[in-house]
Every structure is written in C-alpha cells, then in structure tokens.
Amino acid sequence: MREAIILAGGFGTRLRTVVSDVPKPMAPVAGRPFLAYLLDDLVRQGYRHVVLATGYMHEKVEEYFGLRYRDLAIDYAHEATPLGTGGAIVNALQHCTEERVTVLNGDTFFRIDHDLMLNADDPRCRLMIVLRHVPDAGRYGTVETDPQGLITAFREKDPTAGAGLINGGIYRLNRTLLAPWPVGQPFSFEKDVLQPLREPFRAYVSDTYFIDIGVPEDYSRAQTELPQFAL
C-alpha cells in the first residue's frame, strides 16, 4: 500500500501579511485549501493512506478533512509542542505500517510521477530525495550530486547561487533511518539528518511543475496555476 506523510504544521510566518487565520497548508487557493491540491495528487497517484502531521491550528485541518478524503484514509499526528520537521516525521510514522513511506512538505506542490519515483527507489539507500532544477536556487539552497545519482552535499542559501538543483520537498524514507530519535524528541530533519550525510542518499531529479507557497508572490501565482491540478 502506498502511504504518505504530509508535514502540515507550518506557522506560515512569511505569509502572515496575506493569510493569518489558518495554518499555512490550509491557505486558500482559488477557494480551496492548498492542502486539498496535495491530497488530490496523492489520490491520483494511487495512495490510499496519508498521515497529516499537524501542529499550529491543527483543529482547522481536522475539521475540514475529517478521516477520509476521496480514496484516502487520513490519520492525524498532532504535536502539542513543536517537534521540528524530524520530530514531526517520527511522530507521524507511528501511524504508518509500511517500511518505506513518502514524505511531503505541506507548503510545496511538486507534480512528479510517483510511479517513476517509486521505480527509481533504491532499497540500498534509506532515503531518496526528489530534486528540482531551478534557474535561481538562492532562495532555497542547493544540492549537489555525483554521476551515480548520489547526493554529495547540501549548500546553504546563497543569493548569488544562480541555477541549480534544490530539495523539492518530497522524500522516500525507510523508517529505520529515524530510529535513533525517540518519539516526542524535537529535531530538524534537514540539519540533523540530511546535512551531516552520514550515509548515501539517492537523488531523483524531476523537472515537472513545482511551486512553493511560502512567500506572498508565489502564493499569489498559485491562485491561477493550481486549479488545473484539482480532481
């Protein structure tokens, strides 16, 4: 069974000027929560179970979506106190049954073909990260890879970076990767798991549609671009 976790507990600090009464993944896009477009895509891609890792204003998410969305069974992994991205994933994994799970950021929409991604998944690597080539990587930080498709470095945000590969916010994760962290312990998935590169991580590069609604200008752009992807 295809299972996914969506990190849906974001505060949306950079969006406060335009969205202040809901958590960032619930920001309205053409009359629907942004999160609905992510769930639509998971349904389309054959997923049957999703865990929403919630925090800030979690009740807004739960009241809107309930326990089922189309063909998706929904569980909620609520964090009473901030756990960071890593702690949120560990908390959500308690509701998953599969050994390998897809994890998505709740503020980005990356329209990859999940069949192709899963076919590229390498069981010898406990983590595969979906990367996107962008013309201006300065806002995100860059990711470097070798000719074998393994990640060799994560670079910090640099306004002069120019074009490059960025982390697209989709992961294919073996749950054992996070076994060292107990449930309830706060930690950063990016800083404590990704950046140290203690083991090989596989890269999967896709140049399909990508948008991050974390800043007002892209949130505005989403209003006209995302409706084409609704079910």
Packed helices 58-65 and 34-44: angle between N→C axes, nearest 10 degrees: 50
Residue 155 region by backbone torsions, left for phi larger than 0, else alpha for psi between -120 and 50, else beta: beta
Alpha helices in the chain (DSSP H): 34-44, 58-65, 84-93, 114-120, 189, 216-225
pLDDT digits (tens, 9 = 90+) for 149-165: 999 999 988 777 789 99
What is the CATH number for 103?
A: 3.90.550.10
Q: What domain count does the chain have?
A: 1
Q: Is the predicted pLDDT of residue 12 greater than 60, yes or no?
A: no
Predicted pLDDT of residue 215: 82
Q: How confident is the model at residue 20 (pLDDT cuts 50, 70, 90)?
A: low
pLDDT of residue 117: 97
- The dihedral sign for the CA sequence 86, 91, 92, 93: positive
Rounded Cα distance, 25 and 54, in Å:
10
> In this structure, what are the phi and psi dihedrals at residue 161, rounded to the nearest 5 degrees?
-65, -35
pLDDT tens per residue across span 42-82:
999 999 999 999 998 899 999 999 999 999 999 999 998 99
Chain Cα centroid distance, residue 41:
13
